[in-house]
Each structure stands twice: as structure tokens, then as C-alpha cells.
Structure 1
Amino acid sequence: MRAITYSRYGGADVLELTEQPTPKVGPDSVLVRVRASSVNPVDWKVRQGYLDPLMDADFPVVPGWDVAGVVERVGLDTPELAVGDEVYGYVRKDWMHGGTLAEYVAAPVRTLARKPASLSFEEAAAVPLAGLTAFQTIERAGVTAGQTVLVHAAAGGVGQFAVQIAVARGARVIGTASTTNHDHLASLGAEPVEYGDGLVDRVRALAPDGVDVVLDYGTPDLVETTRALLAPGGTVASIVEAAARDELGGHYVWVRPSSHDLDALTALVEAGQLRIDVAEVFELADAADAHRLSEGGHVRGKVVVRVD
């Protein structure tokens, strides 16, 4: 099969289009013919070796954790899925090797769910990692109707999902972003505020009594701003700063594969409550350029790689 691989850590130039063996399928896994994948910041951080202390790499590594595709073969005990099912998922394993930037990926059934019928494969591939990250931080923080939620980096890949999921739950959402993204955030249901100096005052102007929940997807001063803005009894959840847990008594979240949570995202998509923003679609041979675009940090929406 064709696959993008790298045999050492480094920049995007280490990514190569190669021929690799088709993966074998375990008893509780299925073989997915990949139609599309997507690039997340964690993908190029892994490629640079930043996760080496946490996860072993078995070179050559096929990168990528997001997938949308069709079940090609089933394992010995996979009653959840059948050949021909259209699926999507967050196929993260316990070590780095057989990822989703390839024509086929072996995926444990716990990492997959049926693809939302209303989405193309390219749109569906943009959902799993970012959507699950947003959903699970919101679940962990216990966001409910009537709360005021502050979302840091609200226009980012995860932040956009978090805004929409919180709005769908009936929360009032204030989102930090650059002014160029304010109209977009407003269209998703958030009240945008510019990040940077004076942020506390700008949020207090909208929520004089403070906010009930802080969701952090990237801010340089989480501890300071949270202490200044969190209402009594409120909580914070972060995917960036362990200080959210260790210093603020909140939650530090590392996203997990979950068929159940993917089904919840599918329900939101099919109800028209979750809009998918695809910034650009690359072909598999151009995956290095997709990594470079994501790594540049100035893209709104998801960077997708079409495989088949």
C-alpha cells in the first residue's frame, strides 16, 4: 500500500511517500480503506519527537490519527461493524507506527464509529481528534445549560468544536481570538473577545460576575486569567497546562479514542449543531505540505489529506 512514512524525527522534509505492507487485523480490529485523514498540531509535534518520552516510535512511522473510510476487512470478533460500513475515528495506539496517512489502517473497533451520513469523507476526517478533544474537555468540566463558558483559542481547530458543543448544551460562550476571527466566532454562537493585554477587563465587561467554566486550548497566562475570572464554584479544563489540575484544582485532559463519544458528535452533526470547517485539502503525496501549513499556525479550520 502507499503510505506516508518517516524514519527519523525532524521537519516536514522527513515525510516520504513509500510502499508499506498492508496491516494485519487483530481480533477486535477492522481494516479500513482510508478515504481521508487530517493533520493536527500533535501530528507534527510527534514527528519532531516531542512525545518521545511518552510514546515509543517503531520506525518507519506512518503518521496520522484521524481517519474516514470504508471497512475492508473485519477481525474475528467485531460485531459492531461489517465490510462496507463507512466509518470515522481517532485511531491512536499505544505506540507510534501504523497511522492513517496510508491507503489502509488497522483500527480497533473502540476507536471508530459510523461516519455521519451528511458529511463527505474529507469533512468527516476533520472531526475525530479535534471534536473528541473538545467534547471530552466539556464533559470533564461538566458544562450545562445556563452556564457562562470562556473558551481560550476559540477559533482554533479544537476551539471551534468546543464553542459549538457548549452552545448546543445551552451555555453562553465567550471566546478569545484575534479580531480577524471575531465574525466567524459570532457565526458559531460565541461572543468574541480579543486575547492579549486587557483580556480580563474585556471578559469582565461581558460577565461581571465571572465565568463558570474555563476551557483552555492555548493561552500563555492560564493561571492568572483563570484566578481573575472564575466565579466561585467554577472549574477549568485544559489540554495544554497541567497547572489547570495541579494549581487550579480543575482538569488536565488527554483525549481518548471513544466510539461512544464519536456517536455523540455524529448526533450533533446530524442535528445541524456542529459545522465542520475544512481549510484546505491535500493529496496523499503532498502530505508534507499539509504538515507545513498546519505548523505555520495561521490556518483556520482543519487541514485534510485525501487518500483515496
Structure 2
Amino acid sequence: MGTLPYAYEHFYTRDGFNSSLGHFQVVSNILPEIQQKNNLADQLNQMIAENKLNQNQLAPIVYALLVDKFGYACDSCNLKDTVDSFDSLHEAVSGWHAADLVITYIHPELGYLTVNPKNRNHWDSVGSLRKNEIVTVYAGGMDKDVDEKIAAKAVETLIKYLNGSTGKTPAVLTKGSFKYSPPKEKTAPKKPAAQRKKGNADRTPARQEQAAAAAPSPRESGGGKRRMTPFYSVPVSNELFHNGNVEAWKRIIQSYQAKHPGLEVYIFYEGERIHDIAALFKWGKVKHGSTIVFAVAGEDIKDVAKLQRYLRQGASPRFEDFLRFPVNTVLNLF
């Protein structure tokens, strides 16, 4: 293939050059890890959690390593239906020892995600796979030789499973050396005993309070993993989801996000994401008996049941309970 005329244009600036150099160094550092039986999705998700990688780097890394370098078999499909239960799928795929597996999924809200289908934690982070959204399945063996027909069979079978097939696993996929082992959690190195003793002796209550205040929380340090909850239904029990209900919902969600600033609340109606809650009233079709759904996305998700309870009340004739305060007041609900 000939040289593209603008292939190196982003190297002109210092930021572009440094960004590209950083990306190349990340890929070089990943190689030794995944060649020691570590799945690429396991490695990438761990690096995302540690803030060592940006999400927009995932797709180029996956293609460069799995397809271009290691020659994994791959195929894509648009899902025939929404998948929100992964127990049986995980149970089946975790016994596939014939190949290493990676799934990529473009989540409508969370963006590009990588999944090791043998790692149950990854499915919990995804929450659900949506109907008509695209998934890509990769199967191969890094530096180990995996028969092309077996890799292709793994891809084909996993796509069938994602689309609801309950057929028996082909025996050829259960034999091999790619038995899943959970990735090891990295821990900070311990200080020498003498240093620990000296440090503890110096920690008066005042110093301990200062240290606690200065220490980053798990959210600030990037120790969590962003995920999205399943969808939760909220029935409209008012005669119409009118302007009062809209204002109540705005205040409820504002209170929730003030308490949990790292979390986002997504609203959906009839399969469409609602960016402006007022649109539900403007449409004039959200009447008594209609159902609005929501989901929460973020790292340390809390108070979802309470949020659902308040939103139910906000969609009922009791919405006025949330409007009895000055306009600029943030309600203390959570």
C-alpha cells in the first residue's frame, strides 16, 4: 500500500507527537503482559481503571494487536435482541480452552468497551448488550498456534450464543491450554518495617486527620471501573407527565448527582434516549400508564433503588412534594 500523503500530519505539533509517542509506548508495554497468558481485555480494562489509558485508544490497540500482529479470527454482528443476563453465556464460554477470546462492544452511552467473555466481572461492568448494536468477537492464541478453523468456530459459536442460541458447545472448543485464570490485582509495595514503625510513631491524631484529608478517594484515584446499571422502569401514574412532573424529575436528578457527582442518569422513552426531560412533556404523549426507563452509569453506583422511588413519586400526582422549595435549592434527598 502506498504512503498516504497526510499520514504523519499529527506529528507536526508537540502535542500530537507526544500523544502518538505515548500511545506507542503503551502498546509496547502491553505486549509482555498479554504474552504471559493475560487476556488483552483484562489488561486494557485494568489500565483504564488505573488511568493509564484513554478509551479512545482501545479500538486501535485491539485491531493492531489481535488482528494485525497475532492474526486472530474475527467477525461482527448487530445483535438481534437485547442481552441483559450473562450467567448461562459465561458458564458455557468459561469452559472454552481452545482459544483466547475478546469481545468489543460499542455501548450507546459508555462508548467502546472490551470484554473477556470468560471474566464474569466484565459482564457485570457492561450491564447489558443492546438490540441492533454492534459486537465484534475475536479468537486466537497470541504467540501460540491456534488452528484457523477452530478460531473461526469459536467466533461463529460465540456470535450465535450472543444472539440467543442455546445449542451445545462444540467439543473441539473445550480442549486446549487457554484455561481462564483471573488477572492478579496489583498492590502497592510495602514499606520496610523500620520505616513503617517510624511513620506510625509520628502519626498523632492531627497528622492522621491531615493524611486522611489529603489521600485521594477511590473515585479520585481512578481505582473504580465505569459501568452501567440495567434499565429500571418508572410508570407514569399522573394523568399526564406535565411540566410539574418535569420539574420534579429535574430536581430529583440534580439532588442525586449532587450527592454522587461521578454518576450520570440516562432517561429513555420508547427506546429513545431523552437528553432534555422537558421533551417528555412537549411531546404530549406521555400519559397515564406510560413507562419511562432510566439507567445510571459510573464507577461506584449507589442509591439506585431510592432514585427509582423518588422518580416514581415525581411521575405521580404527588410530584408537588419536590417543588415546595426555592427554585435554586438543591434538594437533600440522598
Fold shared, TM-score > 0.5 on shorter chain: no
Relative CO higher for 1 or 2, CA cutoff 8 Å, sep ≥ 6?
A: 1
TM-score, normalised to structure 1's length?
Answer: 0.22
Give the structure with higher Rg (CA). Answer: 2
TM-score, normalised to structure 2's length?
Answer: 0.20
The structure in which a higher percent of residues are strand is 1
